[in-house]
């Protein structure tokens, strides 16, 4: 196996800048995400993590800098095309189709990547080409037993699982997970960690998460974001030892860091 | 899933209603009441327009406040062609569909870039533009409108001058529109349409270019509504800008909301209820809207999801009470002037009986439940 550092990164962010009025939410951010890794981005509230995701997914246009995906410049590409070339995202605040069943939700994600949808006659809910891959994605996140339940009736933890099943169903090369454990109890969190470990390697993951136990348990590399700027990138051990990181961000959370060791 | 379990009830009632509608010409003949056929032809035509609006409003979440424009475009296409001596339906009707489709494409291209109240206002403004075009078309009667001297000619295949034939054609178009809507809504296209209504941001992130799907739905709805306009022109032998006035667009929205947005048969229920109420109340008093308005408000408050929603929740008692009251009113009203008294009295009594039985059964059930606890 060649040195992963020498391969073309799946995602290469270079000198990204995004300002909102006087506030610089993304400040000259550069980032390399390597194939197959789980790359976590951590940082205190307001560090610009969600703004960064917004630019990667195409909902926000950066003021400066470039984003390359598999060697291709996607800085100006619209949202739905980024999805088509293999970038998927889960939302920090659950974003699903509440009136559809869990299976319908995922089937719609499958449909998005199965040619155009100008098909007006055949019943989409009887389309095995959609239902089977959707069911497989639900199984992957451990939600297949709830396939027929209306999404609005699912629990919070199940919503988070559904989010990820929808993202996985688009067969992404890069999965952007925006705080998948947000609002979860320890039990659901642990299940999510196990699930993400299960899909690790099959898809490259950019993970934004506040749950440090989860981050240190999952990540191959971690980037620390403070005021929109990446102050350090390295393995979990590097980050733990990094004095600057301790001072800037982890200082008061050292006990939980040690807990993760 | 209680919602799904109640679904067949709605379908059964809707099928029964369509069956009853199919009997209207026979009943009109039997009671020797030509006005009945006139009223119900109008109802069926408006139901087609409401079904088309429901596709974009109910399933697509696009609150188009200018849907009556397509009725006008469909009607004017037929009227103008007839004015110039073109009576062949094979030319008139496809051209009317084409014109209403093109109009919808234009309006959609402009309006679908906006959302919420802006979308409502832009569709309203553009539809008013179409209205004033009709108003200013002096060659075709301006705001006086234009009388169509000869109805569309199907080469002897269908005789539109025969009123029951025209009625059955409208009825068939309504059934076809409902079936088209049913297929479309459950197809891949329909899933995209409903997904975009529910969460269009998510639709984009999973990879859908939502705009073009919305626009397509907008054009389909415009064309079906255009067909309602064609039928309307054939029925009244007359076109005028009034048929596309903004208040007509408002009526269509109310019909859809009253019947139940985003349910297949909602617009059918809504149109029948709306136009019958209008008919009765307006024959009572000039100020019928004073009564009509509060009724609509009551429906919105007490029957969320409209008539269809009440059916789905099994609120049959509310509906039965409504129907009984309705026919009672109608019976009293009819006593003055026509021989509808006996049939409507029978209907009112039947609904009242069903309502009473349901009410008693509910009471017994809840008493039993309380006893167990």
Q: Are A10 and A189 in contact (CB under 8 A)?
A: no
pLDDT digits (tens, 9 = 90+) for B247-302: 999 999 999 999 999 999 999 999 999 998 888 888 877 777 877 888 888 777 77
Inter-chain contact B204–A119, Cβ cutoff 8 Å? no
Interchain proximity B192–A166, CB inside 8 Å: no
Q: Which candidate in A53, A55, A80 is best for mutational testing of the B interface (most B CBs within 10 A)? A: A80
Which of A108, A131, A146, A164 is best to mutate for the B interface (most B CBs within 10 A)? Answer: A108
What's the rounded Cα separation, in Å, for the pair A49 and A229? 10
Q: At A68, is the secondary structure helix, strand, or coil?
A: strand
* C-alpha distances in Å from residue B248, one per residue of A173, B216, B241, B254: 51, 23, 11, 10
Give pLDDT tens digits for B28-67.
999 888 899 999 999 999 999 999 999 999 999 999 999 9
> Would you call B188 and A111 a contact, using CB atoms and an 8 Å cutoff?
yes
Tokens standing for residue B4 = 């799904």
Tokens 């196990």 sit at which residue? Answer: A194
- How far apart, in whole angstroms, are the C-alpha atoms of residue B72 and residue B170? 17
Residues B324-335 have pLDDT tens digits of 677 666 666 655
Q: What whole-number distance in Å separates Cα of residue B49 and Cα of residue B59?
A: 15
Q: Given an 8 Å threshold on Cβ–Cβ distance, is B213 in contact with A84?
A: no
Any B CB within 8 A of A128 CB: no
Q: Does residue A222 have a pLDDT over 70?
A: yes
The chain B residue lying nearest A80, using CA atoms, is B207
Q: Give the 3-state secondary structure of residue A129.
A: helix
* In the predicted structure, residue B78 carries a pLDDT above the cut 90: yes
A121 Cβ under 8 Å from any chain B Cβ: yes
CA distance linking residue B40 with residue B18, whole number of Å: 12
Domains of chain B, CATH where assigned: 3-265 (1.10.3470)
Intra-chain end-to-end CA distance of chain B, in Å? 25
Strand, helix or coil at A64? Answer: strand
Question: Quick check: A116 pLDDT over 80?
Answer: yes
Q: pTM of the entire structure?
A: 0.84
Task: Kindly list the structural domains of chain A, giving each domain's residue range(s) and its CATH number in brackets, ordered by start.
Answer: 1-90+172-261 (3.40.50.300), 94-169 (no CATH)
pLDDT range class, residue B13, cuts 50, 70, 90? confident
Q: What CA–CA distance (Å, rounded) separates B120 from B117?
A: 5
**pLDDT tens column, A183-218:** 888 888 888 899 999 888 889 999 999 888 899 999
pLDDT tops 80 at residue B108: yes
Contacts of B187 in chain A (CB under 8 A): 119-124
DSSP letter for each residue of B258-291? HH-TTSSSHHHHHHHHHHHHHHHHHHH-TTHHHH
Q: What is the mean pLDDT of residues B63-86?
A: 96
- What residues of chain A lie within 8 A of the CB of B190, using their CB? 120, 124
Chain A residues whose beta carbon lies within 8 Å of the beta carbon of residue B188: 111, 117, 119, 122, 124, 127, 130
Q: What was the pLDDT predicted at B10?
A: 85
**CA atoms lying within 13 Å on the CB side of residue B69:** 30
CB contact under 8 A, B191 and A108: yes
Span A66-104, pLDDT tens digits: 999 999 999 999 999 999 999 998 888 888 999 999 999
Instruction: Indicate yes or no: CB of B187 within 8 angstroms of CB of A123.
Output: yes
Measured between CB atoms, which of B188, B194, B203 is closest to A119? B188
A89 forms beta bridges with A176
Locate the DSSP E strands across chain B: 146-147, 238-239
Q: How many CB pairs under 8 A join A and B?
A: 94
Return the residue in B205, B211, B217 with the most chain A beta carbons within 10 A, the one to mutate for interface testing: B205
* Cβ contact, residue pair A108, B184, below 8 Å: no
Chain mean pLDDT for chain B: 88
pLDDT of residue B55: 97
List chain B residues with CB under 8 Å of A111. 188, 191-192
Chain B residues with CB-CB distance to A under 8 A? 1, 183-184, 186-192, 194-195, 198-199, 201-210, 213, 216
Taking alpha carbons only, the member of B165, B142, B159, B150 closest to residue B79 is B150
Give the range with max mean pLDDT: A3-7, A76-80, A163-167, B46-50: B46-50
Contacts of A107 in chain B (CB under 8 A): 191
Measured CA to CA, the distance from residue A75 to residue A15 in angstroms comes to 12
* B71: confidence class by pLDDT, cuts 50, 70, 90: very high
pLDDT of B181 above 50: yes
- Pairwise CB contact (< 8 Å): A111 & B184: no
CB contact under 8 A, A124 and B206: no
pLDDT at A149 over 90: yes
Helices in A70-115 by DSSP H: which ranges?
79-84, 102-112
What per-residue confidence (pLDDT) applies to A43? 87
The residue with tokens 């009025």 is A21
Contact of B127 with B249, CB cutoff 8 Å: yes
Question: Could A127 and B184 be called an inter-chain contact, meaning their C-beta atoms sit closer than 8 Å?
Answer: no
- Residues from chain B contacting residue A99 (CB–CB below 8 Å): 194, 198
**Which of A65-79, A156-170, A236-250, B83-97 shows the lowest mean pLDDT across its residues?**
A236-250
């Amino acid at each position: 196996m060649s040195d992963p550092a020498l391969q073309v990164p799946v995602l290469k962010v270079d000198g990204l800048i995004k300002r909102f009025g006087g506030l610089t939410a993304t400040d000259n951010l550069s980032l390399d995400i390597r194939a197959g890794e789980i790359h976590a981005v951590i940082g205190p509230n307001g560090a610009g993590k969600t703004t960064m995701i917004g630019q990667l997914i195409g909902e926000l246009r950066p003021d400066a800098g470039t984003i390359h995906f598999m060697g291709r410049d996607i800085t100006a590409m619209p949202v739905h095309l980024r999805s088509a070339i293999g970038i998927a995202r889960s939302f920090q605040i659950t974003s699903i189709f509440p009136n559809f069943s869990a299976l319908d939700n995922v089937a719609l994600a499958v449909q998005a990547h199965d040619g155009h949808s100008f098909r007006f006659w055949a019943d989409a809910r009887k389309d095995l080409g959609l239902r089977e891959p959707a069911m497989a994605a639900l199984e992957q996140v451990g939600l297949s037993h709830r396939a027929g339940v209306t999404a609005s009736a699912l629990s919070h933890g199940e919503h988070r699982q559904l989010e990820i099943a929808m993202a996985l169903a688009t067969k992404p090369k890069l999965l952007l997970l925006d705080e998948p454990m947000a609002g979860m109890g320890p039990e659901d969190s642990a299940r999510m960690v196990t699930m993400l470990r299960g899909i690790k390697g099959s898809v490259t993951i950019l993970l934004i998460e506040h749950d440090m136990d989860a981050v240190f348990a999952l990540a191959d590399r971690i980037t620390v974001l403070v005021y929109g700027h990446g102050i350090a990138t390295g393995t979990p051990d590097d980050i733990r030892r990094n004095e600057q990181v301790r001072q800037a961000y982890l200082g008061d959370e050292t006990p939980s860091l040690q807990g993760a060791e | 899933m209680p919602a799904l379990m109640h679904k067949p009830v709605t379908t059964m009632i809707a099928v029964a209603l369509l069956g009853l509608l199919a009997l209207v010409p026979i009943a009109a003949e039997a009671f020797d009441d030509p006005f009945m056929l006139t009223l119900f032809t109008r109802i069926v035509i408006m139901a087609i327009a409401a079904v088309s609006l429901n596709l974009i409003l109910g399933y697509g979440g696009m609150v188009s406040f200018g849907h009556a424009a397509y009725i006008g475009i469909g009607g004017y296409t037929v009227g103008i062609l007839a004015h110039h001596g073109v009576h062949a339906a094979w030319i008139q009707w496809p051209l009317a569909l084409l014109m209403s489709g093109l109009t919808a494409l234009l309006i959609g291209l402009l309006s679908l870039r906006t959302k919420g109240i802006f979308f409502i206002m832009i569709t309203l403004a553009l539809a008013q533009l179409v209205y004033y075009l009709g108003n200013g078309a002096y060659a075709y009667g301006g705001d006086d409108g234009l009388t169509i001297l000869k109805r569309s000619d199907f080469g002897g295949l269908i005789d539109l001058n025969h009123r029951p034939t025209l009625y059955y054609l409208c009825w068939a178009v309504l059934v076809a529109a409902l079936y088209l809507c049913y297929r479309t809504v459950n197809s891949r296209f329909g899933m995209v349409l409903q997904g975009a209504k529910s969460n269009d941001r998510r639709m984009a992130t999973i990879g859908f270019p939502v705009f073009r799907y919305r626009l397509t739905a907008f054009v389909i709805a415009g064309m079906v509504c255009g067909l309602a306009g064609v039928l309307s022109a054939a029925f009244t032998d007359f076109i005028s800008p009034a048929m596309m006035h903004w208040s007509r667009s408002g009526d269509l929205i109310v019909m859809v909301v009253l019947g139940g947005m985003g349910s297949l048969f909602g617009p059918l229920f809504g149109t029948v209820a709306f136009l019958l109420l209008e008919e009765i109340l307006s024959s009572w008093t000039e100020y019928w809207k004073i009564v009509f308005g509060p009724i609509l408000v009551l429906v919105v408050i007490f029957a969320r999801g409209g008539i269809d929603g009440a059916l789905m929740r099994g609120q049959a008692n509310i509906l039965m009470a409504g129907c009984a009251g309705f026919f009672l009113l109608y019976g009293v009203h009819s006593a003055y002037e026509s021989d509808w008294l006996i049939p409507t009295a029978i209907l009112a009594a039947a609904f009242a009986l069903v309502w009473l039985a349901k009410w008693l059964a509910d009471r017994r059930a809840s008493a039993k439940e309380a006893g167990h606890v």
